[in-house]
Amino acid sequence: MTGQFALNEDQLAIQDAARRFTADAITPHAAGWDEEGHFPRDVLRAAGEMGFGAIYVREENGGIGLGRVEAALVIEAMAYGCPATSSYISIHNMATWMIDAFGDADVRARYLPQLVGMETLASYCLTEPGSGSDAAALRTSARLDGDHYVVNGTKQFISGGGVNDLYVMMVRTGDASTKEGGGAKGISCLVIEKDMPGVSFGAPEKKLGWHASPTAQVVLEDVRVPVANRLGAEGEGFKIAMAGIDGGRVNIGAASLGGAQRCLDEAVAYTRDRRQFGKAIAEFQNTQFTLADMATDLEAARALLYMAAAKVTEAAPDKTRFAAMAKRLATDNGSAIVDKALQLFGGYGYLRDYPIERFWRDLRVHRILEGTNEVMRMIIGRDLLK
Ligand SMILES: Cc1cc2nc3c(=O)[nH]c(=O)nc-3n(C[C@H](O)[C@H](O)[C@H](O)COP(=O)(O)OP(=O)(O)OC[C@H]3O[C@@H](n4cnc5c(N)ncnc54)[C@H](O)[C@@H]3O)c2cc1C
C-alpha cells in the first residue's frame, strides 16, 4: 500500500511473519483439516510462540503490545490459508485482551501467562439458545453466595466449547425481574475454567463450514466461580463484552479479506489456464469485469477495515460504528467475492479438489457471527441518528 494508508515498517514486518507462518504451517494442511474436522491444536501453539495469541495484550502482561491494524494484518494473512483457524485465533485474542484490559492484577497473573502463548485457549461466551442478536436478554444466572457466584445456564454456539480451557462468560448478576437488573446493566463478566465442577459441554456442532474450529454448547449447573474471577465491576459485563467485540468484528472482517484475497488470486490463475472456445477464459470480457469487481470490492473493504482497526486502537468515539461498518462490508464483500470466484471456476469450483468451495463455506458464517450483518446495520443506523 502507498500514500495516506501506507503500512509502516513494523506493520509490514508482522504481516510478512504471519504470511510466512501461514504458507508453512497452515495453507498446505487446511483442506485436510476441513475434510477431517481436525482442530489444529499444535499449530495454535506454534502461532502462540510467534505472539499471535496476544497481539494487542500489553507487553508488561506478556503480549506483543501492538494495535488492531497489526492484529487485522495477522488474521487476514492466516485466513489466506484457513479462515476457520484464523478466526479461532481472533476469538482467543479477543477473550485474552478482555482479561488484560478488565481483569485485576490477581486475575491477570493467574491466567495471562498461559494464554499469551496459547498454551491455554480462551472462548468468548455471550450467545444463548434464547438470546442471539438480542444479547442483552441473556439468562445465565450468577447468584452471589459468600465469596463465590453460583452459575446456572447454557451458552450456545461457543467457538472452542469443550476444547478450550477458559470461558470468558457474560452472566446475569442483576435481578432479572427488574428493568435495571434484567437488561444490559444486570450483566457481569466471569472467567470460568473448564474443570470447575458443574461445567459440561454439548456434542460438537455439525456445521456447513469452519470444520477446523470446534463449536459446542457450554452448560453450567451450579458452578461455583470465585468472585475474584470477575472482570470489571458487577453490572459492567455487557460493556466489557461490547468492548471486546469491537475488535472481534474488525478481526472477523479481516478474516473475510484474507479468504477473499486467496479466492481472487486463485481465480486469476485459473482463468488464465482454463481454455474454452479456443482461448483462455480470462480473455472473455465477462471474466475480466468479474475479476475487476472482485478486486475493487476487496480493496474498498480493506481500506475501511484498516481505518476501523486504527479507530479501535485509538478508542475513537466512533470506533463502534466503524467496526460495525467494516465488519458488514468486509464480510458481505468477502462472501460475494468467493461466490464470484466459484462461478469463474465453473463446475470445478464446486468440487473439493479445489479450495474455493471451502472458502465459500468458511466465509459464509462471518455474516452471521460476532453480530449478524443486520445487527451491524442497526448499530450504524442508531449511531447516525442518535
Ligand atoms: C460457527 C459459529 C460460531 C460462533 N461462535 C460464537 C462464540 O464463540 N461466542 C458467542 O457468544 N457466540 C458465537 N456464535 C453465535 C453468533 O454470534 C450468533 O449466531 C449470532 O449473534 C446470531 O444469533 P442467532 O443465531 O441467535 O440468530 P437470531 O438472533 O435469532 O437472528 C436470526 C435472524 O434474525 C435477524 N434479526 C434478529 N434481530 C433483528 C432485528 N432487530 N432487526 C433485523 N433483523 C434481526 C438476524 O440478523 C438473523 O438474520 C457463533 C455462531 C456460529 C454459527
Average pLDDT over residues 126-137: 97
Determine the distance separating the centroid of ligand 1 and the alpha carbon of 157, expressed in angstroms.
9
Q: In this structure, are residues 167 and 191 in contact, taking their beta carbons and an 8 Å threshold?
A: yes
Quick one: fold of 3-121?
Butyryl-Coa Dehydrogenase, subunit A; domain 1 (1.10.540)
Q: Give nearest CA residue, ligand 1 atom 22.
A: 132
pLDDT at 3: 47
Q: What is the pLDDT of residue 2?
A: 44
Provide the CATH number for the domain formed by 123-235 in this structure: 2.40.110.10
**Half-sphere exposure of residue 153: CA atoms within 13 angstroms, side-chain side:** 25
pLDDT reported for residue 179 = 83
The atom number, within ligand 1, closest to the CA of 134 reads 29
pLDDT at position 240: 98
pLDDT tens-digit readout, 44-103: 999 999 999 999 999 999 999 999 999 999 999 999 999 999 999 999 999 999 999 999
Of 369, 378, 379, the one to substitute when testing ligand 1's pocket (max ligand atoms within 8 A of C-beta) is: 369
> Is the pLDDT confidence value at 117 over 70?
yes
- Ligand 1: residue whose CA is nearest its atom 16: 369
- pLDDT for position 4: 52
Q: Measured in angstroms, how far is the CA atom of residue 364 from the centroid of ligand 1?
A: 13
Ligand 1 nearest atom to the CA of residue 207, by list position: 1
| Closest-lying ligand 1 atom to the alpha carbon of residue 135 | 21
pLDDT digits (tens, 9 = 90+) for 70-83: 999 999 999 999 99
Q: What are phi and psi of 207, to 5 degrees?
A: -120, 160
pTM of the complete model: 0.97
Task: Quickly count: other Cβ atoms within 10 Å of residue 175's Cβ.
Answer: 12
Q: What is the DSSP letter of 83?
A: H
Q: Which atom of ligand 1 is nearest to the CA of 374?
A: 47
Cα–ligand 1 centroid distance for 372 (angstroms): 6
Give the closest residue (by CA) to ligand 1 atom 7. 158
pLDDT band at 6 (very low <50, low <70, confident <90, very high): confident
State the cell numbers at 166: 477458559
Amino acid at 368: I
Distance (angstroms) between ligand 1 centre and the Cα of 367 equals 9
Q: Residue 155's pLDDT band (boundaries 50, 70, 90)?
A: very high
Give the burial string for 284-301 (b: 16+ CB within 10 Å, else e): eeebeebbeebbebbeeb
Where in the chain are the domains? 3-121, 123-235, 239-385
For the chain, what percent of residues have pLDDT higher than 90?
97
Angle at CA of residue 80, ends 77 and 81, nearest 5°: 110
Determine the average pLDDT of the residues in 152-177. Answer: 97
Same fold, 123-235 and 239-385: no
Q: At what angle do helices 83-102 and 68-79 cross, to 10 degrees?
A: 160
CATH 2.70.98.20 fits 239-385, yes or no: no
Q: Ligand 1: residues whose CB is within 6 Å?
A: 91, 123-127, 132-133, 157-159, 207, 210, 215, 365, 368-369, 371-372, 374-375, 378
- What would the pLDDT profile of 222-280 be if each residue is shown by its tens digit? 999 999 999 999 999 999 999 999 999 999 999 999 999 999 999 999 999 999 999 99
Q: How far is the CA of 143 from the centre of ligand 1 (A)?
A: 27
Question: What's the whole-number average pLDDT of the chain?
Answer: 97
Question: Which residue, among 259, 148, 144, has the nearest Cα to 212 in the 3D structure?
Answer: 259
Residue 106 confidence (pLDDT): 97
Mean pLDDT of 281-306: 98
Q: Residue 374's pLDDT is what?
A: 98
For ligand 1, atom 38: residue with the closest CA? 133
Question: CA 180 to CA 24: how far, in whole Å?
Answer: 51
Catalytic residues: 370
